[in-house]
Amino acid sequence: MKLSIKCGLLAFILGTGFAVHQIKEERVENKSAVKVESKERWANPQNALNEAFGIIKSDSISRVIYDPVFEQTELYVRSKLEAIGAEQQTIENYLTKNKDSALGNHYMNTVSFFRYTGDNEKRPVFVREKFFKDPDTKGRGDLISALRHEEVHAKEESEGYELSNRRLKSDEIVPLLREKMLRVENVYIIGEFDAYTTQFEAALTEKEPPSTGTLKNTKQKAYSFLFQIESAINMGTLTSIEKDHARTKLRKHKKAIQSLKKMYK
Ligand SMILES: [Zn+2]
């Protein structure tokens, strides 16, 4: 759910294999007892977000902002980019890309700027109207679950991208991107794997768990990003630094990976 350049190309890697796994899991779930889950009306989305934010006790998110018309996101993006002297055209391009993504299926996001990664500042999270309209956003458990996901992105942005022996910060990231030793699409895939898998792990022990739909989507996404990372490692398409970043995350979620593989294989 993070705003950055999306991995359209890499989605191809999923291929038919993943579709088959999905069908298999649906069949299993259909056999289980039907659980009726009613959907809240969300009279005050900001209050609901504040409550969920209070529950997750975040170390890396500053505020969770309900931003249905993209106004707050735009102000934030402009202020961050103007502060580093970005040209107006660059700012407009960034905003267009972010807006397109927000109008698509990115309902909640932590904006990422490589120039700020590792600055140890907390990050705001912006939430779209679509998030509350989504049939799977049934109750507070779904808000908590989504915030567990954003907490992972906010932590990476604030502390830097996790490697085996250190965290990658802006001063290293910017030259690595320029030299193509680090590629945005791979940072995205690894970050989403980490975020969805953390969200899945948390859902299993949460006092207020997510809805069946949210949990199912979380597992599928976690598995799909895992599949993309493992395929890239096997094909040898990651650079050494990307491989280190990916393997650090694979080690972090070793147990959850075993569960995911049992579910989908
Ligand atoms: Zn995400």
Count of H-run helices and E-run strands, the chain: 11, 5
Of 175, 195, 189, whose CA–CA distance to 117 is shortest? 175
In a domain, 1, yes or no: no
pLDDT of residue 11: 31
Range of the domain at 123: 8-264
In a domain, 17, yes or no: yes
In a domain, 131, yes or no: yes
pTM for this prediction: 0.86
In a domain, 15, yes or no: yes
1's CB contacts (< 8 A; 6+ apart) are: 106, 107, 108, 109, 110, 146, 149, 150, 153, 192, 195
Helix (H, G, I), strand (E, B) or coil at 126: strand
In a domain, 3, yes or no: no
Whole-number Å distance, alpha carbon 193 to ligand 1 midpoint, is 8
Whether 215 and 252 have beta carbons less than 8 Å apart is answered as: no
- Residue-wise pLDDT for 31-54, tens only, equals 445 567 899 999 999 999 999 999
Whole-number Å distance, alpha carbon 199 to ligand 1 midpoint, is 10
In a domain, 69, yes or no: yes
CB neighbours of residue 74 within 10 Å: 16
In a domain, 2, yes or no: no
Whole-number Å distance, alpha carbon 196 to ligand 1 midpoint, is 7
pLDDT of residue 6: 30
Residue ranges, the chain, pLDDT below 50: 2-32
pLDDT of residue 29: 47
Of 87, 255, 58, 48, whose CA–CA distance to 157 is shortest? 58
Whole-number Å distance, alpha carbon 79 to ligand 1 midpoint, is 23
pLDDT of residue 34: 58
pLDDT of residue 172: 97
What total number of domains does the chain contain?
1
Whole-number Å distance, alpha carbon 33 to ligand 1 midpoint, is 30
pLDDT of residue 214: 97
Whole-number Å distance, alpha carbon 123 to ligand 1 midpoint, is 14
Whole-number Å distance, alpha carbon 264 to ligand 1 midpoint, is 21
Whole-number Å distance, alpha carbon 87 to ligand 1 midpoint, is 27
In a domain, 83, yes or no: yes
pLDDT of residue 180: 97
The tokens describing 186, both together, are: 């791979």
Whole-number Å distance, alpha carbon 176 to ligand 1 midpoint, is 22
